[in-house]
Amino acid sequence: MSLRIRIDPTACTGHGVCADLLPERIELDEWGFPIIQPEIPLSLAADARRAVRACPVLALRLQRTQEKQRERSSGHRDRNR
């Protein structure tokens, strides 16, 4: 199992709290909106959960993914290229 962080771009208003709490995976663009590296290592899981809970507009979600699911979906995409 692994974790992914996702953002709802229509909900995000660019407060930047997420980047303060999870700078290893989130940086801000020139307008203050987050640029996310979605894969969250287990060593950063607690920080990711804290960033999700702290978002003032609830624009972040933390999602559990199964390794086999990810392998299947990535392999499926490769066949369609």
Where do the domains of the chain lie?
Answer: 2-79
Strand partners, 60: 7
Query: Per-residue pLDDT for 77 more than 70?
Result: no
* Residue with token string 């997420």: 18
Residues 6+ apart with CB under 8 A from 21: 47, 50, 51, 54
CB 27 within 8 A of CB 34: yes
* Residue with token string 């709490």: 21
Query: Per-residue pLDDT for 9 more than 80?
Result: yes
Q: What is the pLDDT of residue 1?
A: 72
What DSSP character marks residue 40? E
Give residue 65's pLDDT band: very low, low, confident or very high (50, 70, 90): confident
Q: What is the pLDDT of residue 66?
A: 81
CB 5 within 8 A of CB 36: yes
Q: Does the domain at residues 2-79 carry the CATH identifier 3.30.70.20? A: yes
